[in-house]
Structure 1
Amino acid sequence: MARPDTPLLAADAIIELADRPGRPILLIERRHPPYGWAIPGGFVDVGERLETAAVREALEETSLHVTLNALLGLYSDPSRDPRGHTVTAVYLAEAAGEPSAQDDAKNLRIFSVDALPEVLAFDHALVLEDYLRFRETGQPAPLRLDTGR
């Protein structure tokens, strides 16, 4: 029996550096298209839990062992990834130590939440907007329903 065509599944982690003042976050510069600054993350392997994928991808791209603290939200806009329909679960995480760009990360940088880059890959500007709202208010990401109108 043929499997239906479905969206790809990814897991991302907004990593707060708990051992630095102001708890800045870590973003990677992507090595492969689509280029730009992005939240560390990647595709979930078959048989892998979302949480495990988020931790694995964070380690592979930043060399940091992260602790997941919360699920910020699920992002499923079919146009969010130019490579095709991808749904991602975005987690809030924390880590300590000295990060290092690895694997799919060409570079990485530590950003104050007050000085995030203007141009981000995928829909990560929207994701980080939700993160900043959560950090300020404790409220989860708002539901965005496309009614087709």
Structure 2
Amino acid sequence: MITQLEPVLALQGQWQGHSQLYLAEVGSAARSGVTASVTPMLDQHFVRLDYQWQHEGQPHQGFMIFGYQPTSDLACLHWADNWHMGRDIMVLKGTLGLDTGWNVFGTYAAASGPDWGWRIKFKPDPQQTLVSMFNVSPDGIQTLAVEMVLQRSA
């Protein structure tokens, strides 16, 4: 029987690729190289993805911890990135499928007004993994914020 975490567990190892950061106020994407590593945790109940990237010549790093609760069929992802999240960790929850990947949603406090949403789509693939992050306005309008394409390192 295939468990929901197996496609992410199969990514264990080193990855490299590129990331595009979409800034609405700039109106274009900033592209940078990205490196990543995937490591099982806690007797393979969780999987951790650590990544490093740059923006305007400054190094940044982040992580995602993937978990799955089979009794509630709930995907859970803990995410932090020192550029996007500062000193906070976002908890995102949602769905996952063996063919469709992870689709999780969390919220963050806006400077003023209601909270905004953040959605992460994670499509694991043994050769090329895609991570897409979307900013979600209080009205539900989704805007691509980050797209990361990772290939297994040689």
* TM-score (norm: length of structure 2): 0.25
Which has the higher relative contact order, 1 or 2, with Cα contacts under 8 A spaced 6 or more apart? 1
Q: Between Structure 1 and Structure 2, which shows a larger proportion of helix residues?
A: 1
* TM-score (norm: length of structure 1): 0.26
